[in-house]
Amino acid sequence: MDFDTALAEAWVRAVAAAVEQRQGELTELDSAIGDGDHGSNLQRGFSAVLTALDGLEPAGPGALLSRTGTTLISKVGGASGPLYGKAFRALGAALDGPAADPAALGEALAAGLAAVRALGRAEPGDKTIVDAYTPALAAYRQAVAAGEGLPRACGAAADAAEQGARDTVPLQARKGRASYLGPRSVGHQDPGATSTALLFRALAEVTAGRAHPGAGRSG
């Protein structure tokens, strides 16, 4: 299975649905160590993305993800808009043509992580998006290298991202508003890492759905 335009659109729409469903959870997490607007900001951004996709006829998955990123940058406040916007634009720029094989998608995901790290200047262990994205990419690449197809590779990435998000709980934040709290940021799961896990879980679900049509979406 390759990552084509239809799959890219299904992914973005699944992310929008997940953000809508778990907006309250993201806001609650952000209220503990941030501005309390992570969920509402992402919901507003992905709602605008859905509007931008209506009637869009992109040349390939790269163009669709680039439009997603541009829309997030223009519509989302705080840190999440630029970070996720840059990530999606980097993903889009790395995808050329009508479809990408699993290895090519891995390189695009790596470009997205590089964009996040360059903008946020965050390293693993800083209690940020990077703490979920980094293990997700590593798990994805390991699965592809082992000969797994896109659904299993994306499933491995989602599992790793969710574990990475949970692993932020004992960390002390070193970037963003949470870093102002110092030791008081310990004991809270990072909202950005949590929303990153939502993105990877959505990717896993749509690729699994493509592989097994009619099987239904997992929780």
How far is Cα 180 from Cα 162, in angstroms, rounded to an integer?
25
Q: Which residues pair with 3 in a beta bridge?
A: 100
Domain boundaries, the chain: 3-211
Q: What pLDDT sits at residue 217?
A: 41
139-158 residue pLDDT tens: 999 999 999 999 999 999 99
Of 9-23, 26-40, 201-215, the range with the highest mean pLDDT is 9-23
SS3 per residue for 141-156:
HHHHHCCCCHHHHHHH
71-94 pLDDT per residue, tens? 999 988 778 889 999 999 999 999
Mean pLDDT of the residues in the chain: 93
Strands (DSSP E) along the chain, which ranges? 3-4, 99-100
String of DSSP letters for 84-119:
HHHHHHHHHHH--SSEE-HHHHHHHHHHHHHHHHHH
pLDDT-derived band at 219 (thresholds 50, 70, 90) equals very low
Above 60 in pLDDT, residue 205? yes
pLDDT value, residue 93: 97
In CATH, which of 2.40.30.10, 3.55.40.20, 2.60.120.10, 1.25.40.340 is domain 3-211?
A: 1.25.40.340
pLDDT at 216: 43
Lowest mean pLDDT among 109-113, 119-123, 203-207: 119-123
Three-state secondary-structure class, residue 195: helix
Smallest CA-to-CA distance from 90 within 123, 51, 116 is with 116
Q: Which residues contact 69 (CB under 8 A, 6 or more apart)?
A: 84, 85, 86, 87, 88, 89, 90, 91, 92
Note the pTM of the prediction, 2 decimals. 0.93
| Percentage of the chain modeled with pLDDT above 90 | 84
Using CA atoms, how far residue 41 sits from 151, 172, 194, 214, in Å, is 29, 24, 14, 33
